[in-house]
């Protein structure tokens, strides 16, 4: 009888151990946008950091922030690496318990420059400053938060009600400016760099977000886990965060070496990839959560959100 009990106990142990192995082998599905901010994902993949942690990953590219967030909320991917923070806040309005942010990209208290946005006018345009935008058409990326951010920046100089904002899909922004259908655009880099390099545009202002004077910084993009991954496979989430944090450290020490990954994964022209200025990838232990709340509150005041979100509750610790 004791032998039978021992055999049953051993079988249960082996079954549990085996199921643990299978669970560990389940790939982590990482969604990413083909943008500069996703660079730690490219580095972790090509430098073998995922493999070193024993993680099997599946990288899944997406073409829009809306699509990648919907995939996370629906459980089709386990992680976003990365997308706009403003889109994650929209998702949090619906279901704050279904995502957790674990890495950010943007400016910090120590980093006074803004390398993420620019305001560009057509080459040869007579416009010299924001005050000249009165009565003019200004292109922004689609979405309420994009328009709200543009309004907030322009409000530092003139009443944004006197500007005509036009939402334009990112691939069409430069050609719309070239065709004279807009007088200027407010958009993330490298849109400005490419417009200038193509001889279509010139900068009206580089780094306009500094006008907002958000002294703790602006976390414009973020990496996030699904709650499902955290609940069912917490060890994989921990390892994934470690891999991407390691990639951030590698970027900081080897920036020139990793820039070609932007050509490989995003399709940026080599000249742009090798020269575009970065903001900072910010690990959670370096991050002031008040910065995110202040940025959200600014967009909220501009009408981007119908309800206020406590963004300090959305982080993975």
Please report where in the chains the tokens 């904002």 appear, as a residue: 165
Please, is 251 exposed, middle or buried when counting C-beta atoms within 10 Å of its C-beta (0-12, 13-18, 19+)? buried
pLDDT value for 110: 67
Residue 161: strand, helix, or coil: helix
CA–CA gap between residue 275 and residue 259 (Å, rounded): 9
Q: Is 252 in a helix, a strand, or coil?
A: helix
Structure tokens at 251: 């970027």
Nearest in space to 129 (alpha carbons), one of 45, 35, 54, 211: 211
List, by residue range, all CATH 3.40.190.10 domains of the chain: 2-111+217-313, 117-206
Residues 6+ away with beta carbon under 8 Å from 92: 99, 309, 311, 314
* Top-tier CATH class for 117-206: alpha beta
Residues of the chain with pLDDT under 50: 1-24
Q: What is the pLDDT of residue 111?
A: 59
Name which CATH class applies to 2-111+217-313: alpha beta
Q: Specify the pLDDT at position 20.
A: 45
CA 124 to chain centre: 33
What's the pTM? 0.85
């Amino acid at each position: 009888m004791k032998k039978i009990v021992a055999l049953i106990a051993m079988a249960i142990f082996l079954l549990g151990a085996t199921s643990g192995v299978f669970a560990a082998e389940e790939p982590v599905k990482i969604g990413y946008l083909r943008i500069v901010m996703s660079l730690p994902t490219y580095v972790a993949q090509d430098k073998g950091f995922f493999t070193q942690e024993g993680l099997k990953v599946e990288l899944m590219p997406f073409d829009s922030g809306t699509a990648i967030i919907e995939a996370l909320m629906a459980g089709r991917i386990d992680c976003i690496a990365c997308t706009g923070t403003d889109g994650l806040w929209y998702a949090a309005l619906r279901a704050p318990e279904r995502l957790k942010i674990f890495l950010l990209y943007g400016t910090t208290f120590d980093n006074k420059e803004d390398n993420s946005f620019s305001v560009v006018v057509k080459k040869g345009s007579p416009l010299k400053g924001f005050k000249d935008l009165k009565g003019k058409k200004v292109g922004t990326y689609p979405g309420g938060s994009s328009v709200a951010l543009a309004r907030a920046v322009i409000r530092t100089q003139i009443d944004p009600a006197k500007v005509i904002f036009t939402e334009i899909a990112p691939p069409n922004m430069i050609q719309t400016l070239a065709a004279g259908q807009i007088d200027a655009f407010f958009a993330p880099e490298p849109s400005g760099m490419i417009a200038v390099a193509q001889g279509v545009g010139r900068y009206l202002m580089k780094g306009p977000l500094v006008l907002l004077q958000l002294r703790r910084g602006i976390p414009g993009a973020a990496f996030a886990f699904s709650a499902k991954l955290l609940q069912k496979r917490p060890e994989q989430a921990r390892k994934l965060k470690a891999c991407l944090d390691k990639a951030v450290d590698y970027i900081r020490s080897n920036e020139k070496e990793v820039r070609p990954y932007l050509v490989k994964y995003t399709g940026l022209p080599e000249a742009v990839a090798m020269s575009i200025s970065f903001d900072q990838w910010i690990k959670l232990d370096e991050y002031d959560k008040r910065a995110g709340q202040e940025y959200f509150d600014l967009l909220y005041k501009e009408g981007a959100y119908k309800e206020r979100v406590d963004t300090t509750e959305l982080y993975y610790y």
